[in-house]
């Protein structure tokens, strides 16, 4: 019995998170045994260039020797105490300073971060409704597993079985980059909306950059209406630059959610904001939130070390952006050369290659037109050339400090070959 077969008997679908099952690319998953630098090694000893980066956390590449050495020491100091520790204070200072916030609460995943930030927004405003945008992903808590229904604003549908209609009745779904859709909802529910949550750069429908006017108008309008603006920066935080991407636009959200990178590869999430709001959390305030392993010392120390390296080496961001631009130009050229329909969307170091014919890509409505079968063929051709892309069209390409121009150029050449081979 092969590993996948065995896994499927023991774990639903053989995986602990659905995208890993490779269903979108119509093949069996690759099981990884180890990783080093920019490479993943599967259980059969094959080596792949990793463009998944564990979906973001491995921004410095896998298995940096200095971090491994430090981690060994951390193991000696203790794994978890269930009591406050000094590293939590140090990490809180690091994160708040980097993000221009005053307070932060640590949790164990991005899902927890957004779920808790929304509870806080509701508790703080005394309002119940929230706005999210179609195609933005904020983890798998009940009230966020929603898509817009046909027709009316109030008729949304859960995207998962097991989510009661009553749980999502306060979730309003708008179109990304479309302020009219937000204004319409605000008119319909005056004074009832607690928060608007979004990925400031959408990364979970493939990379869809925001229209700056959309963001600034959204900021103004939410401020006027007393609605909290929540930036879900579980991907963008510490990836576009050190801290929040909102610096790029000279903008401030009310609450920020982080995850992925800030745990340095261990399970961490966080949400942050001003004292005035954050002090509504228990034990000071009346919004309950807790976690046995929250602020886990090992995770805090690994996160602290990764963030410190990023803070002290800003050239890493420039390097990733340069590599992304190189990849963008190279892939775009290969699309043209091979007459393959597709487009690259990029914001600094975040990018996606969408297959299909597009006028523009601004929202979920637009990305829905992507040719997922073409992506599946492309993915397989790339895999055969030792390149592991995200096993789904609607994901980004994740770069790390361990990537370099040589790997990018190899990837571009491989993409050209893949595009030719896909026609057959
Ligand atoms: C990954 C992700 C989440 C969920 O984080 P988990 O750690 O998987 O729970 C939330 N928001 C965004 C934008 C993400 O990319």
Ligand 1 atom closest to 204 (CA): 15
Give pLDDT tens digits for 337-388. Answer: 999 999 999 999 999 999 999 999 999 999 999 999 999 999 999 999 999 9
pLDDT at 322: 98
Ligand 1 binding pocket includes 236 (Cβ within 6 Å): no
Closest by CA to 135, choosing from 197, 195, 74, is: 197
pLDDT at 148: 81
153: pLDDT strictly greater than 80: no
Measured distance CA(382)–CA(417) in Å, rounded: 9
Q: How confident is the model at residue 152 (pLDDT cuts 50, 70, 90)?
A: low
For residue 336, how far is its CA from the centre of ligand 1 (angstroms)? 34
**Residues of the chain above pLDDT 90, percent:** 97
Closest by CA to 145, choosing from 153, 411, 137, 176, is: 137
pLDDT at 423: 81
Ligand 1 binding pocket includes 132 (Cβ within 6 Å): no
For residue 209, how far is its CA from the centre of ligand 1 (angstroms)? 18
56: pLDDT strictly greater than 60: yes
154: pLDDT strictly greater than 80: no
Measured distance CA(109)–CA(98) in Å, rounded: 20
pLDDT at 231: 98
Give pLDDT tens digits for 399-424. Answer: 999 999 999 999 999 999 999 999 87
Rounded to two decimals, what is the model's pTM?
0.97
Give pLDDT tens digits for 205-229. Answer: 999 999 999 999 999 999 999 999 9
> For the chain, how long is the longest CA-to-CA vector?
64
pLDDT at 226: 98
Ligand 1 binding pocket includes 137 (Cβ within 6 Å): yes
End-to-end alpha carbon distance in the chain: 32
């Amino acid at each position: 019995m092969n590993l996948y077969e065995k896994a499927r008997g023991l774990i639903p679908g053989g995986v602990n998170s659905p995208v890993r099952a490779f269903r979108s690319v119509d093949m069996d998953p690759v099981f990884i045994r180890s990783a080093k630098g920019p490479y993943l090694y599967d259980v059969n000893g094959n080596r792949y260039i990793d463009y998944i980066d564990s979906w973001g956390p491995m921004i410095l590449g896998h298995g940096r020797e200095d971090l491994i050495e430090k981690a060994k020491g951390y193991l000696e100091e203790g794994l978890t105490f269930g009591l406050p520790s000094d590293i939590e204070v140090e990490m809180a200072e690091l994160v708040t300073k980097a993000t221009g916030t005053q307070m932060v609460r640590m949790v164990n995943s991005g899902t927890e971060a957004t779920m808790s930030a929304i509870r806080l927004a509701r508790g703080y405003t005394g309002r119940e409704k929230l706005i999210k945008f179609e195609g933005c992903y904020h983890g798998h808590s009940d009230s966020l597993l929603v898509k817009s229904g046909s027709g009316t604003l109030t008729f949304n549908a859960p995207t998962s079985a097991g989510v009661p209609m009553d749980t999502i009745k306060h979730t309003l779904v708008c179109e990304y980059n479309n302020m009219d859709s937000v204004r319409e909802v605000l008119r319909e529910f005056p004074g009832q909306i607690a928060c608007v949550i979004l990925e400031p750069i959408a990364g979970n429908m493939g990379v869809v950059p925001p229209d700056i006017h959309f963001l600034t108008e959204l900021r103004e309008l939410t401020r006027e209406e007393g609605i909290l603006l929540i930036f879900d920066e579980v991907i963008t935080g510490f990836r576009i630059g050190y801290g929040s991407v909102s610096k790029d636009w000279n903008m401030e959200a009310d609450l920020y959610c982080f995850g992925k990178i800030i745990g340095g590869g261990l399970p961490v999430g966080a949400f942050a904001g001003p004292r005035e709001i954050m002090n509504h959390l228990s034990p000071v305030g009346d919004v309950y939130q807790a976690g046995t392993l929250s602020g886990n010392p090992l995770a805090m120390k690994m996160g602290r070390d990764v963030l410190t390296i990023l803070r002290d080496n800003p050239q890493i961001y420039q390097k990733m952006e340069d590599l992304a631009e190189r990849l963008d130009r190279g892939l775009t050229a290969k699309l043209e050369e091979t007459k393959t329909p597709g487009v690259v969307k990029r914001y600094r170091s975040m990018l996606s290659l969408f297959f299909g014919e597009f006028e523009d890509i601004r929202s979920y409505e637009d990305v829905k037109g992507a040719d997922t079968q073409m992506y599946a063929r492309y993915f397989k051709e790339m895999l055969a050339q030792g390149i592991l892309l995200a096993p789904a069209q609607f994901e980004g390409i994740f770069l790390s400090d361990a990537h370099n121009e040589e790997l990018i150029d190899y990837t571009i050449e491989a993409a050209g070959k893949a595009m030719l081979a896909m026609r057959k």
